[in-house]
A = this chain, B = another copy of it.
Amino acid sequence: MYKKMIEESVQGNAYSLGRLITFLEDEEKRVQIIKEIEPYTGNAFVLGITGPPGAGKSTLISRLIAHLRELGFTLGLLCVDPTSPFSGGALLGDRLRMEEHSLDPGVFIRSLSAQDRLGGISPTTREAIKLLDAAGKDIIIVESAGVGQSQLDVKRIADTVLVVFVPGMGDSIQMLKAGLMEIADIFVLNMADREGADKTVQELKDAASRYMSAWKPLVVSTVATGNEGIAELYQAVVSHREFLKESGLFDQLRRERSQDQTMELVQELLKKEVNRSLEENAMLQQLLEKAKYGSVDPYSAARQIVEKILRP
């Protein structure tokens, strides 16, 4: 059904690509696209970028894009934003910072809304990556702007994860608590011209040395506003990519992602089945009401609902 649009998109038609990404928000359309897109995918390198608010991620990404364009790569940028009733204006500010790339046909930029309550990176993000991959983008950058599971889940869709810090964001205990250290392949200390940068670099290096895995995160200092450290940052990405390829982790990661995605889709389909059953079945509704008003405990109600769904 979407075969023609996918083919157009593969051949470089940005309008078809944009429409396909929009279609991903509609689950029925997304399913059709998932079925058609797989054969075209598997070539792009996916770079995840996250970090606390205020670390200058948008400027850093803008500079990195400029550098990668100079090296001749085509790019996709997906910004995963938290759903916020106030976000319209706030996020517009961010997008404006990307304006310098908005007329470049070699860069495709798109904002996506964050995941639903179930958590996890949204199925839309996974498929948008595949669409950009199929459309021939060499490198796809996924910026996770929010606090929330999406920030940590960028690990699950990216080949290399950059976590951006700034000097003086608190001692290392605070950074560890944020849960961001464990997902990083590369630590970026942005605004590295600020006071306290040396101390933070040392803390990041100490943290990196404690990693149990074969890859110890590299630490790169940047001043994105001054365009400093961007080439070094890309060199660190190249080092990590070479590590992934040589260790066989590159293919393994992709297989795990397919498996992950399948299990997520299973959960999603089951959730739909639960909602459909609750809508159609008055007895299940009553059970839920009883739990709500406390006349049945939540576990017993849930157990009975599941029994009715699995063995109707």
Contacts and interface: CB of A to CB of B under 8 A. Distances in A.
Nearest to A81: B177
A274 B120 CA distance: 18
6 contacts: A34-B299, A84-B176, A147-B180, A258-B298, A263-B288, A269-B302
Residue of A266, A271, A309 most packed against chain B (CB within 10 A): A266
Interface stretch (A4-12, A65-73, A148-156): A148-156
A272 B31 CA distance: 25
A87 B177 CA distance: 7
Given A178-B147, A180-B147, A302-B262, A207 B310 contact: no
Contacts of A267: 118, 267, 270-271, 274
Given A84-B177, A169-B54, A31 B270 contact: no
A297 interface: yes
Nearest to A256: B292
Given A38-B294, A53-B170, A85-B212, 20 more contacts: A34-B297, A52-B178, A82-B177, A84-B179, A86-B176, A87-B176, A90-B177, A118-B119, A145-B177, A146-B179, A147-B180, A148-B148, A255-B292, A259-B291, A262-B298, A262-B301, A262-B305, A265-B303, A269-B302, A270-B270
Query: Number of contact residues on A: which range applies?
Result: 35 or more
Contacts of A169: 53-54
Per assembly, the copies of the chain total 2
A84 B306 CA distance: 33
A269 to B, nearest CB: 4
B300 A35 contact: yes
Interface in A201-222: 207, 210, 212
A182 interface: yes
Nearest to A289: B259
Given A34-B299, A303-B269, A258 B294 contact: yes
A265 B182 contact: no
B258 A292 contact: yes
Contacts of A310: 270, 273, 309-310
